[in-house]
Structure 1
Amino acid sequence: MSTFALSLSAPARAGWFTQAGQVLRRWLISSLRQAWGPVMSLIQPIIWILLFGQVFASLGVLPAFGGAGYIDYLVPGILMMTVLYSGAWAGTGYIDDISSGVMDQYLTSPIARSAIISGQLAQQLIVSLAQSLVVLGIGWLGGARYPGGAGGILAALGVATLLASIFCCASSAVALITRSQIALISLSQLIVLPATFLSTAMMPAELMPEWVQSVSRWNPMTWAVELGRGGLSGEYPANAWWQVAGLTVIALLAFAWAVGSIRAYQRSV
C-alpha cells in the first residue's frame, strides 16, 4: 500500500494542546451552567474578611503584626484559604465522570492522559483566579490596602494559582484512586483544616505555640500565605525564593501523581 493510501486510511490525531483545549472547553461550559457553585464558595471568604476582620481588628496593634491592621494581615490568608478549599473539591468532577461513563469515553479515545488532567486543571485555575480577584476586591472594601501595587497583586495571584494547582491535582488523584465522594470529602476535610490553622494565615508565628511554629515553618500553606502577603505589602520574606521553589516542586509532583492516577485507573477497568 502506498504512503498516500496509508495517510488517507489513518485518521489525523489532534495535537496535545488541541486535546487539552477541548477538555478545557467542556469543563468551562459545565462551569457556566453551574456557576452557583463557585459563587456560593465565596460566601465563606466574605464572612472571614468582613466578620472576623472586624471582630479581631484590635489584634492589629500588636507588634507581631508589624504595624499593619489585622485586615491587611488577614486578606492574604483568606485568599490562599479560598483557593485551597476550592482546589480540594476539584476531584468531584472526575467522580461524576466515572459514574456517568464519561471517563470511559475519554479513555477509549485517542487523547493523551496528561491532556485530560491539564484541561480540567486549567478550568479549575481559571475559576480560582476569578475567585481570587473577588476576594481581593472584598478585602479592599473591608479596609485592606495593597502597598505592593499592581505587581504585588499579580505576584499574590500567581502564588495563589500555584497553591491551587497543588490541591487541584492532589484532589484529582485522590478521586481517581478512591472513586468515592465520601472518601474525597473526608480526606479533604482532614487535610484542609489543619493546613489552614497550622499556618500563618490567621496569626503570626510568634503568637503561636512552639510546636505549631515548627509545623507551620514547613507547611506549604504558610509559604503561599507569606509570599502572597509579601506581594500585597511590597515586603517579601527573606526566604521567598526557596518558598517559590518548594511550591513549584510540589505542584509538579502533584501533577505527575494525577496523571499517574488516571493511567492506573485505566489499567484497573
Structure 2
Amino acid sequence: MSTVIAPSTPVRTPASGPAGWFTQTGQVFRRWIVVTVRQAWGPVMSLLQPIIWILLFGQVFASIGALPAFGGEGYLAYLVPGVLMMTVLYSGAWAGTGYIDDMGSGVMDQLLTAPISRSAIVTGQLLQQLLVNLVQSAIVLGIGFLGGARYPGGFGGILLALLAATLLASAFCSMSTAVALRTRNQVALIGLSQIVVLPATFLSTTMMPASLLPDWIAGIATWNPLTWAVEVGRAGLAGAGDAMLVWGRLGLLAAFASLAFAWAVASLRSYRRSI
C-alpha cells in the first residue's frame, strides 16, 4: 500500500465537483465486479441447479413431452426456457445479500456520506447483477443445447429470451435489494426469498403448460411475472408465437422491473434517513 502525504496548504479545486451520475454508477459497478471476480465460486455454484434440472429432470419427464400440450417439440425444449427464467429468479433473490454485508461492515454508511446519487448506488450494483445473470443465462442455453434442445428461433430468438430473462432478473434483484435494506437481516432476506421463489416457480408455466395445471393454479400463473418471462422465452427460442402476446408480456415485465427499481431506491433513501 502506498503512503499519501497530505500537502501543508490545502489544494483548491473550485472548478471540480461531484462526478456525474454515469461516472458514479460506473464506479459502483466496477466495485461490485471486482467483488464478483474475487468470489466467482458463487455464480459458478449457482449453475449446478440448472444443470440438474435440464439433464436429470428433463430426462426423467421426457416421456410426457409426447402429449399434445407440449406441441410435439419434446419436454426438454419446453423445459429449457423455464429453467432459464428459474435461474435468474433464484440468483436475483439473493442480490440483496451484498447490501447486508455492506451494512454490517460499515461500507454502506461510507457510501451514503459520500457525494453520490442514491440511484447510482442501486443502479451500479444492479448492472453487475444483470451482467452475471446474462452470462449464466447464456451458459444455461448452452447446457440445454448440449442436452438435446434446439432453438429454431435462431439468434434473434435467443436475444429475445435473454431480454425477458434480464427484465425478470432486474425486477427480482431490485426487490431483493429493497427487502435487504428494509429488514437489514440476512436470515430475514433468505427466509422471504424462499417464501417467494419456490411458490412462484410452481405457480407458473415453468414446467407444465397451463392446460395441464389445475384451474386455480392456471389462473394465478396468468399473473405471475415468471410466466410472462417464460412465455416470451419459449416464443423466442421456438421462433413462433403471437407477436402481440410477446410484446405485451415484455411491457408487463418492464413495468414490473421499473416499479421494483423505484422501491429499491426508495428503500435506500429510507435507510439513509434512519441512520
Q: TM-score per shorter chain, which class? A: over 0.9
Classify the secondary structure of the residue corresponding to 1:13. coil
Equivalent residue, structure 2, for 1:134:
139
Deviation (angstroms), 1:11: 4.1
Counterpart of 1:4 in structure 2 is none
CA distance in 2 between partners of 1:145 and 1:81 (Å): 19
Alignment of 1:96-245 (within 5 A): 96-237=101-242, 238-245=244-251
The corresponding residue for 2:82 is 77
**Which residue in the other structure is 1:19 paired with?**
24
Counterpart for residue 30 of structure 1: 35
User: What residue identity is the alignment partner of 1:123?
Assistant: Q
Shift of 1:8: 3.6
1:263 maps onto 2:258 in alignment:
no
**Displacement of 1:10 after TM fit?**
6.3
The superposition leaves residues 134-176 of structure 1 with CA deviations (integer Å, 9 ceiling, x where unpaired) of 1000000100000000000001001100000000000000000
Q: Could you tell me which amino acid in structure 2 is paired with residue 189 of structure 1? A: Q
What's the TM-score once normalised by structure 1's chain length?
A: 0.96
Partners of 2:93 and 2:15 in 1: CA distance = 41
Counterpart in 1 of 2:6? Answer: none
List structure 1 runs of 4+ shifted beyond 6 angstroms: none
The alignment of Structure 1 onto Structure 2 pairs a total of residues equal to 263
User: Residues of 1 paired with 2:50 and 2:23: CA distance?
Assistant: 35
Is the counterpart of residue 247 in structure 1 residue 271 in structure 2? no
Deviation at 1:9, TM superposition (A): 3.8
Q: Counterpart of 1:60? A: 65
Aligned match for 1:40, one of 23, 45, 48:
45
Identity %: 69
Q: Which residues of structure 1 form unaligned runs of 5+?
A: 1-6
TM-score of the two chains, using structure 2 as the length reference: 0.94
The root-mean-square deviation of aligned C-alpha atoms, in Å, is: 1.0
